[in-house]
Amino acid sequence: MMNICWANTDSFDEAEIVIVGIPDESKSHALRKGTSDAPHKIREISSIRDTYKRGDDVSMGLPLDGIVKKVYDYGNIERSQIEHTINKIISNSKIPISIGGDHSISIEIIKSVSKKYGPLSLVYFDAHPDFISSIHGYYGSVFYDVLPYIDVDTSIQIGIRTPEKEEIDNIKKYGLKVITPFDIIRDGIQKTEETILNKIGRNVYVSLDMDVIDPAFAPGVSVPVPLGLGNTEVALLLKSIAKRGMCGMDLMEVCPNYDIKDRTSHLASRIIGELISSTI
């Protein structure tokens, strides 16, 4: 298996950040299939487009901040191995960055991370609230299913733009803070950044559904929705959160079968690189 290009150590023990692929889409109801191919494709494209070759020498195209953390690529695991693997990573004081797969994978990851850190401050980037409560255990019920493991008062959803009525009712019921793409346009990125940083608590976990980004930038997702965030906006906000500190992050719902010239997979790789470069 090809490693993601940001991996710069072959030693799990010396790593500070661990990349984990979870190629599973068994809890997705999306018409578009293929998110299980994303961990492989993102790694492949990162190695092709985020590296430079001169003769036998290969170097990374670093983010502007540079990468100073030690990054280890753990490889792929099955859904049934999530609890064991995430526990191994965080019990060794490392930060897991997981690549899916469908968004329901985040339920098991968040549950595992919370066992060490307690209720998490969840920053949830998504076009959809995933706040369905009438059905459990699938990619549309993620936020409801993780309620026992998060602190809603210090959690936030960003980029929401296509909620169902049931989800709107749950957002109001639990007093969840939501920032829409229209809010970001109206308030500006600096005020948005301040709002997020003032809202989140101590033990921050970030979950990124790539459909939060407008399909103009990220066409290869399982459920694309127009009127989304810009790619640079998302990267900047993620970097700001990472600079504050986080206990883990996942990136979900890249669907390579529907991508255009691998643009979404490449964007996912760059986002991971930028996040790593800002993580304290």
- Helical axes 231-244 vs 189-199, angle rounded to 10°: 30
Residues forming beta bridges with residue 205, ordered by sequence position: 122, 248
- Which single residue is written with the structure tokens 């127009």? 226
Q: Is 10 annotated as a binding residue?
A: no
In order of 11, 70, 143, 168, 280, the CA distances from 16 in angstroms are 10, 5, 28, 38, 10
Q: Which of 83, 76, 81 is nearest to 43 (CA)?
A: 76
Residues 95, 16 contacting (CB under 8 angstroms): yes
Has 37 been labeled as part of a binding site? no
Report d(CA 154, CA 201) in Å as an integer.
5
How far is the C-alpha of 149 from the C-alpha of 208, rounded, in Å? 17
The dihedral over CA atoms of 221, 197, 165, 224, expressed in degrees to the nearest 10, equals -10
Prior bond of 159 cis (ω within 30°): no
Does residue 211 have a known ligand-binding role? yes
Token pair, residue 191, equals 């005020």
Instruction: Find out whether 84 is annotated in a ligand binding site.
Output: no
Is 262 annotated in a binding site? The answer is no
Question: Which residues pair with residue 52 across a beta bridge?
Answer: 59
How open is the CA angle 169-213-265, to the nearest 5 degrees? 130
Q: Are 51 and 60 in contact (CB under 8 A)?
A: yes
Tell me whether residue 209 is annotated as binding.
yes
Binding residues for Mn(2+): 103, 126, 128, 130, 209, 211
Binding residues: 103, 126, 128, 130, 209, 211
